[in-house]
Structure 1
C-alpha cells in the first residue's frame, strides 16, 4: 500500500512547529515512502516543557475534573471519526495486520472513554484525628508528565499513559517513536481538535535519536516520566532521572512463559498460543515466547504447534488473507534471522523461519520459528527476542514448572493451561508476573491493570491504579476546635 500523508511536525502549545530536515517514513511491507516527518531537538523539547509547565500553573486544568472528562470524551470522538484512516495508516507504517490495527484503535477509544469517566471520580479521604481536628487527604495532579512511546502499538501505548495523565490533571510532553511518526501525527491532529483542551496541556516533539529523550529525562520541570520499552532503556532512564528524583512509570521488557500441563485442552492451548506468540509478528512485550510443556504431552503439543505455525500465512497487513504481518524494519528482520541461526546452534530447530522470497522479498517479513532448548541460562531463554521465534521447554512437575517460569529476570505476563482449578490457582500465585492468564493468553482491556515484576518495570497502567503514578497525595490539616 502506498499513500501520501501530511508531513508530521512537532506540536507545541497548540501550534505545528517545524523541526530539522525532513526524514521519510517507509512502509516496512514493501519499502514504499508513505510521507515525511521533521525531527525535533533539545531546544524544542525545552520549549514544549515550558509550555506544559505554563499550562499546568496558569490554567484551571488541574482543578477542573469536568473539563478534563469533556476533553477526553472529545478525544475519543475524534479518534472514532478517523478510525478507518488511522487503521490504514497503522497497517502501512507499522506493518501489522488490519484486524490488529482495528483492535488497537478500538481499544484506545475504549481506554480514552474509561479515563474520561475516572476523571470525575478522583477521590481523597477525610478523618477526624481528635475532636475538631480534621485531616484531609487530597489527591492532586503530579505536574508535568513526559510520555515516551514505542513503535509497536503507537496508539494504544500512548493512550494508556495519556488517558490517566490527563484524567489526573497533569500536562504532557510526548516523544513518539521515530518508526511511526505519521500515525502519531494523526493522533495529535485529533488532540488539536479537542475544544475543551487548553493549548499547551498536550505537546509533542519528534525525535530520530536520543537528544529529545535525554532532555526530557534531565529536565527539572518534568515531574513524571511514563515510558514503555526495553528494560535496558528503562534502566538508563531511571539512572538519568535520579538527579531530579522524578516519579517513574515504566513498563519494560517481557519473556512471557506459557505453562501447559498434561490435563490441558490441547486444541485450546495450541489455538491460544499460536495467536499469542505471533500477534504483531511477536513484537509485543506480553507475547507468549516460552512454551513450558509437561513431558508426557510434549511430543503431541509440539507437533500441533509446528503444524499451526507452518499454516500461518505471512504477508502484507492490508491483505485479508495474511495471518501475520511484517517486522517493523529490515534491521529487525536481520536481527531475528540471526537469532534463528543461534537457536539452531544452541537448541534444536523444530521449524526454521526465514525471510520469504518472491513478492514479499522487499518487505521486512520473516516466517515463524519454533525450537526446543534445555538450558534456561541460554540468552535465547533469558533475553527478550521480540519477533516470531518461540522456545519449547519441558518440566516434570509443578515445582519445576514454576522454577522455569520464574527463571528469567522478567515478570510482565504469563499464562497457565490446565483444567484443574486448584492447580491453576497455585501456579498463578507462584509465578512472579504482573498478569497471569488462565487457559488463554493476551487479554488486555482498559479496566484491568497491567505492569511488571522485577526487570519488567515499575507501577501499573490501565485500570484505577493507572491514575496513581500521575497523582500526589496532599495532607491538609485543620484544627476547627470542639464545639
Structure 2
C-alpha cells in the first residue's frame, strides 16, 4: 500500500484548508450563481446542486444550475459587447490582458488553495497551475496586437492580402481536473483575438472559475466581454452549444461529450474545437536512459491524481527489460504519498467525485476479469473514511485488446504491456481509438524520429515528459479531438481569415452583352 500523508490532521494542511475555506466564504453563504455583464447574478434561479470536498465527502457549498434563460442573458451580453471589444486595438487588449495576468499572480496562493480544496488536486501542482494561468494570459496578450495580421499574396494583376477578424461571441466549456489553468488556456486567446466569451465551468469544480471572471473584470475587462454561467451539461451546456448567437465552442472533456456537442451545434453550423480523451502510450526501449524514463513514467500517470488528458496511461516496455523496469515502477508506486491535497508533501490526492470514483474502481474488477495482474494498489485508500481516495494502481500481465489497455480510466492507474520490436511497439501504440499524446524513450536518434513520426498522436515527446512550449500546437488525432491550441493555432480557431483582392487596373475583364 502507498504511503499515507495524514488527512485533516497535519498542521500545515489544516492551516491551508482553513485559508481555502476563508477564501470560499463569500461564495458558499448562498448558492453560487453566475457572472453576466460584469455583475454576479442568480439569474433565472435554477435548481441548486451540491459541490463536494473530494477529501472528506462533505458539501463545500451549492451552485445554481444555469437555465436556458441564463445562457440567453450571457450570450446577449457577449453579443452587445462584441462590436466595441472587437474594435479595441490590439495594444489596448494587450494592456488589459497583462493586467489580468498581474492580478492572477497577486492572488496565485488564494487560487491554488481554493482549487486544491475544490478539486482534490495536490497543492504542489495547483500552485504552479495558477502561475501557468498568468503565463497563458501574458503569452496571448503579447500576440494581441498582431492577431489580425495576414499575408501579402500579389499577382501581376491583383494585390491580394489576408487578414484575420474575430469570429464573434464564443462559448468555452472547461473540465474539472485543472479548471483554472485550462480555462485561461481557452479564454485568454479568445479575448486576445477580440472575441467575447460565455464560459460554462465544470459543475464539480466551479469556484476557481468564479475567481477568474472576477479577477478579469477587476483588472479592467469591460462588462459583457467575459461572462460565466454555472450549471450541468444537459442544461446550461446544451443551451450554450445550441445558441444561435454563439459562433464557436471550445471544449475540453470526454470524447462522447464532444460528439454530443458537435451534434448540438450542427443546426447553427457552429465551429468547434475539441480537446478530448486519451489513452496515451509511453514507449520505453531497452537502449533508453532508464533512470530518466522511470521518473517520467511515474510522473506522467500519478501526478494530478491521474486525472490528466495527456497522462501516459499505457506503459509499453521492450521485453528485454520488461521485468526489471516494471519492478522499479512498482517500487516507486508503493512509495507514493497519498493524502490531504492541501498537505505540500502529498503526491496523490483524492478523485474529484463519487461518480468518478465508482468509474475508476470499476476497472479493478475489469482487470481481474480480463486476467491482468494488479501488481500494486487496486483498492480504496484508507487515509480518509469518506474521501474519494484510490490506491495508486499498477496493472501488469496485460495485452493490447484488454479494456484496461483501450479505455480511458482517468485515474492513478497504469497498464503495462510488453513489446518485442520497434514495429510491434508502433502497432501497439496505435491500436486504440485515441490519439492525443505519445512518449518515446530511446537512445537511438533514428529510432526516435521513426517512432515519433509513426505514432498516431497530435503530440509526441521524445526522452521527455509533457513539457509545454506555448507557441507549439496542442491537440489530438482520431477520437482525441479536433483543432489545435497554442500560438497562432488558437487564433485560427477564434478568428476568420479574409482575403481582399485589389485590382491593379491592368487585367482583362470579360465582356458579355457588349
| TM-score of the aligned structures, taking structure 1 as reference length | 0.96
Name the structure 1 match of 2:316.
Answer: 292
1:21 Cα shift? Answer: 4.5
- 2:77 aligned to which of 51, 62, 66: 51
What are the within-5 Å matches in structure 2 for residues 14-413 of structure 1?
14-18=38-42, 19-57=45-83, 59-122=84-147, 123-131=149-157, 133-195=158-220, 197-346=221-370, 347-357=372-382, 359-413=383-437
| Residues 265-305 of structure 1: per-residue CA shift (max 9 Å, x gap) | 22111111111110111011100100001001000011000
Question: 1-side partners of 2:98 and 2:203: how far apart?
Answer: 28
Contact 1:24 1:37 in 2 (8 A): yes
User: What secondary structure is seen at the aligned counterpart in 2 of 1:206?
Assistant: coil
Question: 1-side partners of 2:293 and 2:175: how far apart?
Answer: 29
Contact 2:85 2:196 in 1 (8 A): no
State the superposition RMSD in angstroms.
1.6
Contact 1:145 1:171 in 2 (8 A): yes
User: What secondary structure is seen at the aligned counterpart in 1 of 2:337?
Assistant: coil
User: What secondary structure is seen at the aligned counterpart in 2 of 1:319?
Assistant: coil
1:60 Cα shift? Answer: 4.5
1:480 Cα shift? Answer: 4.6
Label 1:374 to 1:99 Cα distance change in 2 as closer, same or farther (>3 A).
closer
Question: 1-side partners of 2:258 and 2:233: how far apart?
Answer: 16
Question: 2-side partners of 1:157 and 1:268: how far apart?
Answer: 28
Label 1:264 to 1:9 Cα distance change in 2 as closer, same or farther (>3 A).
same
1:62 Cα shift? Answer: 4.0
Question: 1-side partners of 2:350 and 2:468: how far apart?
Answer: 22
User: What secondary structure is seen at the aligned counterpart in 2 of 1:128?
Assistant: coil
Question: 2-side partners of 1:320 and 1:114: how far apart?
Answer: 28
Contact 2:65 2:236 in 1 (8 A): no
Question: 2-side partners of 1:343 and 1:463: how far apart?
Answer: 41
User: What secondary structure is seen at the aligned counterpart in 2 of 1:155?
Assistant: helix
1:362 Cα shift? Answer: 1.9
Question: 2-side partners of 1:69 and 1:138: how far apart?
Answer: 19
| TM-score of the aligned structures, taking structure 2 as reference length | 0.90
What are the within-5 Å matches in structure 2 for residues 375-454 of structure 1?
375-454=399-478
Label 1:235 to 1:21 Cα distance change in 2 as closer, same or farther (>3 A).
closer
Question: 2-side partners of 1:419 and 1:23: how far apart?
Answer: 52
1:63 Cα shift? Answer: 4.8
Q: For structure 1, which runs of at least 5 residues remain unmatched after alignment?
A: none
Question: 2-side partners of 1:389 and 1:256: how far apart?
Answer: 12
Label 1:217 to 1:290 Cα distance change in 2 as closer, same or farther (>3 A).
same
User: What secondary structure is seen at the aligned counterpart in 2 of 1:443?
Assistant: coil
Contact 2:439 2:464 in 1 (8 A): yes
1:313 Cα shift? Answer: 1.2
1:22 Cα shift? Answer: 4.0
1:225 Cα shift? Answer: 0.5
| Residues 286-332 of structure 1: per-residue CA shift (max 9 Å, x gap) | 00100001001000011000000001011011112211111102222
User: What secondary structure is seen at the aligned counterpart in 1 of 2:163?
Assistant: strand
Label 1:24 to 1:272 Cα distance change in 2 as closer, same or farther (>3 A).
same
1:69 Cα shift? Answer: 1.1
